[in-house]
Structure 1
Amino acid sequence: MQQTTQLTALKNNQLVSTPDVKVDFFSKSGFELACRISRAFATSNAVPEPFRQFNEKKDKQGNITLVENPSAIGNCLVAMEVANSVGLSVISVMQNADVIQGQLRWSAKYQIAAVNASRRFTPLKFKRRNLGYIKAKYKEKTDWNNQLRKFNYVEHEVEIENLECIAWAYEVDENMRPTKEIVQSIPVTMQMAVEEGWYAKDGSKWQGDMRLQMLQYRAASFFASIYAPDVIMGMGRSSEEARDIIDVTPQSDGSYSANVNLQDLKSTPDVGDIPSTRESVDPETGEISQASQNTEQAVSDGLRDETPGESGGTVLEQPTQQQTRQRKKVDLG
């Protein structure tokens, strides 16, 4: 009956409407559409290099060759899923993404946009203050110690202006109206930047005029990790935070590779494990009350740089031939 109706409509030059297919990663037609869109994005030179199917590479003579990026389609699919989950455009997701250590990371400003777009809070604001000049210490990795099988470290001390930044916002009610209840990140200070190793890294932006911007980015990233982890789920650390923690080198396909042994990296506690503050705004002054002593102690204890142990990185030694023969005898009974 339906076929007869369609044939009659075609004979009468009437358009037969068909339902539109939407992107859906868990249906055949929806996933095929997502792959077609991803292939279209991958052929564009208006998207960043991690999402392009072919990227230009220059040799020492200045000759340009095209290098295929096998991860382009997959990266585009990931960007589409992230854009769908946070309610922002696919292009904005791509423009703010980096590939670091084989993972897509998004910039801090994109995480701020995602938190603001969630409308769970009022737009993020930042409270800054100057805590005065202090002396802070950090450890710099030097040469490899064959005897101890680890890198040697030299301790340095710098005198810095200890600036502090806190990201905060008002909570909103079910009618999207701001309340007097506020939420705020843990304090991010220049002392933390030094002791965590962000300050002394090659190409660090913490030493120049960008330090105020970096403080805001890091405070916003901490805020999002604590109060809106579901909004930034899948983004991991921000691009800026990942570069501060790991030494990376840009690659020809737009990604970044680590150039240090991961066992030599100090362990940093997850931001979600650090207590945060939830305080009320003073109705008369409108100012945020100071963080409690317990929170400051938790920040001091949880984010302080640790001295590398004497054992250093773990090195697996190959068994000798005699040990191998003994093991075979034991296995054979």
Structure 2
Amino acid sequence: MNTPTTESLTLQEQGQQLSVLGAFANSEQFQMATQAAEMLASSSMVPDAYKRNPGSCFIAINTALRLRMDPLMVMQNLYVVHGTPSWSGKFAIALIQTCGKFNGIKFEERRDGERLVGMRLVATKKETGEEVRGVWVTEEVADKEGWLKKNGSKWVSIPELMYRYRAAAFFARTECPEVLNGLSVEGEAEDIAGKSQPDIKLPLFKSREISGGDVVDAEKVADSPRQLGDAEVPGKGDVEVPPPHIRLMEALSCTEDQLNKAIAKASGDKVKGWHELNDKQKEKLAANPDKLQPFIG
């Protein structure tokens, strides 16, 4: 059996390198992606945000290479808000369904009469048969985060759809973060930025022109994390701060059930889970995740 060297990578190593670096894996791959970007930018079939914009086309191609997907599919399901890309909600759900890790994906609901007041995504791991549950997205959370109060909020007009998109995003971040490739999901940034959300339809782009006819990044309403103090600067606003339990799960790489069990162990079973803590305790724990690390099983 040949021993791989730095000069001669095995096919498996080359595949791993390509999945990580995409178009930047080597000079040949970079040149091919550049040529493909020029070709797509001149096409009338790509979404408006990519027309005459080879730079954005190149980024879409690079994302497609890393995720091993068709570039046009990525373009049709990726929109850009102030330079930050986000997946469409239904595509995020499709990424979870097709990642190969889970069976029996479903949305679990909580209702108060006819009104939907909570939702989470539940799935079964293929390898172990273990049922994994995403974080609950509740009406209480939506209210505290201000998602229900924003002008033109889709949480008011189509709440069930927004619950699904947010439940899928929370599940992906805790159970299969690699499928999102580090991107946000439709609706998240709009809620953070405080502007109304766009109609949910394809293509999810609306290009704008600058002097000279050059097309710049599409804007679909605010979604990108923004710096404090920049609220009056066009395209900027408040810093994105996820809820404390989401920050904790990301820091500890654990599920909601594991987090609740760790809290119970750490408190000697005096506190059964996250929801029994007050807001001050939650923020203090989120700022010091190392205290729970020894109790994560």
Q: What corresponds to 2:167 in structure 1?
A: 219
Can you list the C-alpha shifts for 1:264-315, whole angstroms capped at 9, x where unaligned?
5573347352463359xxxxxxxxxxxx951434697759xxxxxxxxxxxx
Preserved CA contact (<8 Å) 1:83 1:89: yes
Preserved CA contact (<8 Å) 2:166 2:188: yes
Can you list the C-alpha shifts for 1:193-239, whole angstroms capped at 9, x where unaligned?
1211111112111112x10111011000000011111221232x213
Amino acid of the structure 1 residue aligned with 2:160: L
> Residues of 2 paired with 1:266 and 1:36: CA distance?
36
Matching of residues 64-103 of structure 1 within 5 Å: 72-103=53-84
Amino acid of the structure 2 residue aligned with 1:116: Q
Preserved CA contact (<8 Å) 1:126 1:168: yes
Preserved CA contact (<8 Å) 1:164 1:189: yes
Matching of residues 131-210 of structure 1 within 5 Å: 131=112, 161=115, 163-173=117-127, 179-208=128-157, 210=158
Provide closer, same or farther for how the CA distance between residues 264 and 255 of structure 1 changes in structure 2, counting only shifts above 3 A: closer
Structure 1: give runs of 5+ residues left out of the alignment: 1-21, 54-71, 134-160, 174-178, 280-291, 304-333
Provide closer, same or farther for how the CA distance between residues 90 and 272 of structure 1 changes in structure 2, counting only shifts above 3 A: farther
Normalized per residue, the structure richer in strand is 1
Preserved CA contact (<8 Å) 1:126 1:165: yes
Can you list the C-alpha shifts for 1:36-68, whole angstroms capped at 9, x where unaligned?
111111112222222121xxxxxxxxxxxxxxx
Q: The residue matched to 1:124 in structure 2 has which SS?
A: strand
> Residues of 1 paired with 2:192 and 2:134: CA distance?
20
Amino acid of the structure 2 residue aligned with 1:234: G
What's the CA shift for 1:128?
0.6
Counting matched residue pairs gives: 218
Provide closer, same or farther for how the CA distance between residues 246 and 169 of structure 1 changes in structure 2, counting only shifts above 3 A: same
Q: What corresponds to 1:40 in structure 2?
A: 39
The answer to whether 1:114 aligns with 2:109 is no
Amino acid of the structure 2 residue aligned with 1:165: M
Amino acid of the structure 1 residue aligned with 2:24: F
Preserved CA contact (<8 Å) 2:190 2:221: no
Q: The residue matched to 1:88 in structure 2 has which SS?
A: coil
Preserved CA contact (<8 Å) 1:170 1:180: yes
The answer to whether 1:255 aligns with 2:209 is no
Q: The residue matched to 1:165 in structure 2 has which SS?
A: strand
- Cα-Cα RMSD: 3.1
Question: Sequence identity, in percent?
Answer: 28
Amino acid of the structure 2 residue aligned with 1:105: S
Q: What corresponds to 2:267 in structure 1?
A: none
The answer to whether 1:276 aligns with 2:255 is yes
> Residues of 1 paired with 2:73 and 2:41: CA distance?
15
Q: What corresponds to 2:24 in structure 1?
A: 25
Provide closer, same or farther for how the CA distance between residues 110 and 188 of structure 1 changes in structure 2, counting only shifts above 3 A: same
Structure 2: give runs of 5+ residues left out of the alignment: 1-17, 197-205, 209-215, 223-229, 259-270, 284-297
Preserved CA contact (<8 Å) 2:121 2:168: yes
Amino acid of the structure 1 residue aligned with 2:142: A
> Residues of 2 paired with 1:169 and 1:299: CA distance?
30
Provide closer, same or farther for how the CA distance between residues 263 and 73 of structure 1 changes in structure 2, counting only shifts above 3 A: closer
What's the CA shift for 1:170?
0.2
Provide closer, same or farther for how the CA distance between residues 266 and 84 of structure 1 changes in structure 2, counting only shifts above 3 A: closer
Q: Which of the pair has more CA radius of gyration? A: 1
- The one of 164, 178, 185 equivalent to 1:230 is 178
Normalized per residue, the structure richer in helix is 2
